[in-house]
Structure 1
Amino acid sequence: MVASQLELLYAMLACGKEAMMAGDTARSATIVGLNHDLRRKRSFVLLEWDDDAEKHLSLPVPFGCSLENLPGEAEKAVREVSAETAALKIHAAD
Structure 2
Amino acid sequence: MRYTDGRVLPGCEAAQVLLLLGVPDVLVDAIMSWEPGSSARMRARYMHVNNSLLLKVAKQVGDILWGPEGDSGEGAADPERDGN
After TM superposition, is the score higher than 0.5? no
Choose 1 or 2 for highest CA Rg.
Answer: 2
* Richer in strand (by share): 1
Using structure 1 for the length normalisation, give the TM-score. 0.29
